[in-house]
Amino acid sequence: MATFREVCLDGPVVLLDAAAAQVQVGLIQPSGEAGWSTPPGESGVAVFQALEELGVNPSKVRGWIFCEGPGSILGIRTVAMALRSWTLLHPAPVHRYLSLAVLAHALGDPAAGIIADARRETWHHLRPGEPLRRLPTRDLQPPLYLPATFRTWSTLPRGVKVTPYDWAQLLPRVWDADLLRPASEPDAFLHEDPIYVTWTPRIHQASAQDA
């Protein structure tokens, strides 16, 4: 684990977060000061617009930080694929973080449960000091906080509070928090590895009834 201060020591470093409905991109200096761009629109376009607005050339970046989830899978994987391409051509260290862990640390409430929609009436859930889990709505216990602008499909749990997910405000609160991990192969967070079933092809043969 590493802190934002440690990772940005030899900066500037670029932060890419496409977990919410609106992409957030930041150019972070070693001092902790940062410039932010939050263009509207689809992540595959907004990420590049933000880099252009901040004057960032991917070939010159000294380091990357990105959100691996939970959040918009499409947005997160768009960022992950871009990072794989950029760092293949121009190697630079990449670090990842969990959106809910960042918000949990920033809120500073040890009892707070931070949630994000996992679909089918289940929720990604993280409480400070506990691992990220996936829980059905019936198992969620207050107090609960939902990051603003995160998309939802399931019915919201009773009493949930919506809290800002704004990196311009979050960064000073988590600057010295051990929330970052190296990401040699950037990708979206998964609770478990996918399971692939082997399919054996067979030649269809007509039954006696079909004949």
**Residue-level length of the chain:** 211
Per-residue confidence (pLDDT) for residue 196, from 0 to 100 = 40
Per-residue confidence (pLDDT) for residue 210, from 0 to 100 = 52
Per-residue confidence (pLDDT) for residue 57, from 0 to 100 = 96
Per-residue confidence (pLDDT) for residue 11, from 0 to 100 = 82
Q: 3-state DSSP: the chain helix, strand, coil percent, rounded to 5?
A: 25, 25, 50
Residue 33 CB: number of other CB atoms within 10 A? 11
Residue with tokens 């996936």: 134
| Phi/psi at 15 (5° precision) | -105, 130
Single pTM value for the model: 0.89
Residue 24 contacts residue 40 (beta carbons within 8 Å):
no
Per-residue confidence (pLDDT) for residue 81, from 0 to 100 = 96
φ/ψ region of 116 (left if φ > 0, alpha if ψ in -120 to 50, else beta) reads beta
| Rg of the chain in Å (alpha carbons) | 20
Cα 162 to Cα 5: distance, rounded to the nearest angstrom: 28
Longest dimension (CA), the chain: 79
**Residue 16's Cα: distance from chain center in Å?**
9
Q: What is the pLDDT along the chain (211 residues), one digit of tens a residue?
A: 999 999 999 889 999 999 999 999 999 999 999 999 999 999 999 999 999 999 999 999 999 999 999 999 999 999 999 999 999 999 999 999 999 999 999 999 999 999 999 999 999 999 998 999 999 999 999 999 999 999 999 999 999 999 999 999 999 999 999 999 999 999 998 765 444 445 556 665 555 555 5
- Ordered structural domains, the chain, with CATH: 4-182 (3.30.420.40)
Closest by Cα among 97, 87, 94 to 167: 97
Per-residue confidence (pLDDT) for residue 193, from 0 to 100 = 47
Per-residue confidence (pLDDT) for residue 197, from 0 to 100 = 46
Per-residue confidence (pLDDT) for residue 127, from 0 to 100 = 96
Q: Six-digit token pair at 14? A: 């670029």
Could you give the count of Cα atoms lying within 13 Å of 59 in the half-sphere of its Cβ? 1
Residue 121 contacts residue 155 (beta carbons within 8 Å):
yes
Cα 177 to Cα 8: distance, rounded to the nearest angstrom: 13
